[in-house]
Amino acid sequence: MHGWTGQILRVDLTTRTWRREPFTEEFALTWIGGRGFAAKILYDELRPGIDPLGPESKLVVAVGPISGISAPNTGKTVVAAKSPITGGYGDGNLGTRVTEKLRKAGFDALIVEGRAERPTLLYIDDERVEFLPADEIWGRGTYETNDWIYARYGKGAGVLNIGQAGENLVRYAVVRSMEGRAGGRPGMGAVMGSKLLKAIVVKGSQPIPQAFPAEMKTLGRDDLRAVHALDQKSAWSKQGTTGVLGWCNEVAALPVNNFRESHHPEAWRVDGERLAAATVAVYGCPNCTMQCGLAMLDDQGRESELDYENMGLLGPNLGLFDIAQVATLNYMCDDYGIDTISGGGVLGFYADAVERGAAAGDLRFGDFAGFKRVLTAIAHREGEAGDILADGTLRAARAFGHGSEAYAMQCKGLEVSAYNCKFIPGMALAFGVSPIGAHHKESWIISYEIQQTPRESYGRDKAQKVIDLQRIRGGLFEAIVSCRFPWIEVGWGLENYPKYFNAITGLDWELEDFWPTSDRIYALIKLFWLREFPNTDRKADYPPHAWFDPANADTEGPIAGRILEYDKYDALLQHYYDIRGYDRRGIPTRETLERLGLGAEAKAAEEHATLT
């Protein structure tokens, strides 16, 4: 078996033991890596109903066959667990040196079990695993933690760490790495915190197993240059993802004031042009050829890496249109280890709830000092509001009551990322059927909806497009584990990825050969959710109520008076289910599961729920 190390590292923090576990070629070919490995491991090993923040919970860190090799943008790692915010499957990816180092230490995945007795740093290298005390850095932010680790292990070490939010079990705490990297927004940082695991440090020196290393070396070198040239030609990285903000504002897709409005006359103050002009440094992930981490100075002169999501949700969504102010909130989120998307969503929801009288307090949209104060309270679970808001928008809405759940901008408990879909049906579907709760990474079809098909349509083509993109973005890229940006942002052809895969593994796969694996991963994740929520129905795949509420329609601008319609959305959702081979609840049918080779997993699901 080429292309995989063939080994998983299993670590038990309770017993302070570890072991290498080989996996079979069949496992590798069935699940490929990354999200595929993580979903399969968590499905097989987690008893349904466990507390995601209890000792039975497990954290999976997984890479894929092309992760860490010298090729365009291969520096990503997947972190996954049962999500403490949704109660379902959760994962995310982040750029980190762990990607390369874990493979060079001889592993394709790491499973962390149990709970340490005291704050712990897990150290991994070629030959050993150590459980080291981390009391000195417990309670510190991620920047200081990172520096502390670098001082001891060198800047070349692979590092994953958490901040105070993860330690305090904020349900949307992330895992952090390097300067501005973060991943695992459905609370993977809280899972680390629940295990008293402050950081994971990885070093490795073995060669990454490759079938044709000489061919891969040439291919990788040439393609790194080629993608870089595409980026230079397109000037994409001048603004990175922040260029999207101005576009969203123009087409009425920007979240403003907890998604109440979809555009704002002051949005230009924080758009890509302004951010490009304010950029003082640019950072990226390992092996990146088109770095997108634009660093601005915050109100204290600290570098803060901004992208579109955090700009949108910590800016216009909070009624803030000042780069330094947004940079400050972003820096605080990064340092505390709070997901910027959920953090912005929660803060916006709270301001909305206060303004509508559902929650006590004096926070208002545009109140920069107030947002800083609340963010700090959340990270430390200070005060009643801080403690409630640390549990996320949906739980906070249920605590506040007064109908506030209607404007809690979330799906399955996870806050919506920065696309206001009050009149973008296909993207609303993409959020609704995302396998981790509302997130844009699985499928992003807004430009298709605006340019290539009527925006107001709920046609079957949109359901098909969502699936096509899920197969590529959420399946292919999350399993081989590589950044999707060369493809989506500068036009690097998808056909290049099977070339890397084949050079590494010695196989002869075409692009189409990856789609059954993508579908298998999505179906298995559906089964994971079903076991946790046996009485689930299609309503779980609905986007927030606010996008259907005529009272929430824009009063002026491109989509004035327009809003999603429930019956039409439901028909669009049914198209999605029909194409996928899911039943009316949104669960894969037995026939679909058999077709995808998930017969055993279906039987395991039937111990807890019904299949059709």
Partner 1 sequence: MRITVKLIGGLAHRLGFGEQEREVPAGTTAGGLLTALGIPDARTVITTRNGWGIAPDEVIEEGDRILVSPPFSGG
DSSP annotation of 582 reads: B
Per CB under 8 A, 235 contacts partner 1: yes
By C-alpha distance, which of 130, 61, 127 is closest to 98? 61
> Site mask, partner 1, residues 511-550, x = CB under 8 A?
----------------------------------------
- Whether 282 contacts 242, CB under 8 Å: no
Residue of the chain from 13, 165, 202, 244 that contacts partner 1 (CB under 8 A): 244
Residue of the chain from 276, 278, 511, 571 that contacts partner 1 (CB under 8 A): 276
Residue of the chain from 307, 334, 352, 367 that contacts partner 1 (CB under 8 A): 307
Read out DSSP for 219-280? HHHHHHHHHHHHHHHHTGGGTGGGHHHHHHHHTT---BTTTTBS--TTGGGGSHHHHHHH--
User: How far apart, in whole angstroms, are the C-alpha atoms of residue 446 and residue 426?
Assistant: 7
- Whether 500 contacts 514, CB under 8 Å: no
Stretch that binds partner 1, among 233-241, 378-386, 496-504, 522-530 (CB under 8 A): 233-241
Per CB under 8 A, 470 contacts partner 1: no
Give 170 or 480: the residue with its C-beta nearer to partner 1. Answer: 480
Give 261 or 405: the residue with its C-beta nearer to partner 1. Answer: 261
Residue of the chain from 12, 147, 250, 606 that contacts partner 1 (CB under 8 A): 250
Q: How far is the CB of 262 from partner 1 (least distance, A)?
A: 10
- Whether 166 contacts 193, CB under 8 Å: yes
Per CB under 8 A, 243 contacts partner 1: yes
Give 145 or 239: the residue with its C-beta nearer to partner 1. Answer: 239
Residue of the chain from 29, 55, 150, 247 that contacts partner 1 (CB under 8 A): 247
- Residue 305 backbone dihedrals phi, psi, to 5 degrees: -85, 120
- Whether 289 contacts 74, CB under 8 Å: no
Residue of the chain from 252, 256, 347, 611 that contacts partner 1 (CB under 8 A): 252
Element of type H or E holding 348? helix 340-355
- Residue 342 backbone dihedrals phi, psi, to 5 degrees: -65, -35
- Whether 494 contacts 472, CB under 8 Å: yes
Read out DSSP for 158-189? EEEE--HHHHTT-TTB-EEETTTEEE-TTTHH
Stretch that binds partner 1, among 28-36, 389-397, 500-508, 553-561 (CB under 8 A): 553-561
Question: With left for phi above 0 and alpha for psi between -120 and 50, is residue 361 left, alpha or beta?
Answer: left
Helix 213-234 / helix 496-505 crossing angle, nearest 10 deg? 160
- Whether 520 contacts 30, CB under 8 Å: yes
Give 268 or 368: the residue with its C-beta nearer to partner 1. Answer: 268
End-to-end CA gap in the chain: 37
What is the C-alpha radius of gyration for the chain, rounded to an integer number of angstroms?
Answer: 22
Per CB under 8 A, 236 contacts partner 1: yes
Per CB under 8 A, 451 contacts partner 1: yes
Stretch that binds partner 1, among 157-165, 239-247, 331-339, 352-360 (CB under 8 A): 239-247
Q: How far is the CB of 384 from partner 1 (least distance, A)?
A: 35
Give 146 or 443: the residue with its C-beta nearer to partner 1. Answer: 443
Residue of the chain from 447, 513, 591, 603 that contacts partner 1 (CB under 8 A): 447
Residue of the chain from 104, 440, 520, 531 that contacts partner 1 (CB under 8 A): 440
Q: How far is the CB of 247 from partner 1 (least distance, A)?
A: 5
C-alpha 533 chain-centroid distance:
22
- Whether 424 contacts 449, CB under 8 Å: yes
Per CB under 8 A, 239 contacts partner 1: yes
Give 157 or 421: the residue with its C-beta nearer to partner 1. Answer: 421
- Whether 47 contacts 57, CB under 8 Å: no
Give 330 or 592: the residue with its C-beta nearer to partner 1. Answer: 330
By C-alpha distance, which of 448, 396, 393, 395 is closest to 425? 448
Per CB under 8 A, 556 contacts partner 1: no
Give 241 or 289: the residue with its C-beta nearer to partner 1. Answer: 241
- Whether 330 contacts 305, CB under 8 Å: yes
Per CB under 8 A, 132 contacts partner 1: no
Q: Which of residues 102-121 bind partner 1 (CB under 8 A)?
A: none
Per CB under 8 A, 234 contacts partner 1: yes
Per CB under 8 A, 446 contacts partner 1: yes
Stretch that binds partner 1, among 74-82, 86-94, 440-448, 601-609 (CB under 8 A): 440-448
Q: Which of residues 488-517 bind partner 1 (CB under 8 A)?
A: 488-489, 491
Give 12 or 266: the residue with its C-beta nearer to partner 1. Answer: 266
- Whether 312 contacts 347, CB under 8 Å: no
Per CB under 8 A, 238 contacts partner 1: yes
Per CB under 8 A, 455 contacts partner 1: yes
Helix 425-432 / helix 460-470 crossing angle, nearest 10 deg? 50
- What the block records as the tokens of 49 is 């109903």
Stretch that binds partner 1, among 216-224, 268-276, 458-466, 572-580 (CB under 8 A): 268-276
The length of the chain, given as a count of residues: 612
Helix 35-45 / helix 515-532 crossing angle, nearest 10 deg? 30
Residue of the chain from 309, 339, 367, 478 that contacts partner 1 (CB under 8 A): 309
Stretch that binds partner 1, among 207-215, 398-406, 482-490, 577-585 (CB under 8 A): 482-490
Per CB under 8 A, 176 contacts partner 1: no
Interface ranges with partner 1 (CB under 8 A): 234-236, 238-239, 241, 243-244, 246-247, 250-252, 272-273, 276, 307-309, 419, 440-441, 444, 446-447, 450-452, 455, 484-485, 488-489, 491, 557-559
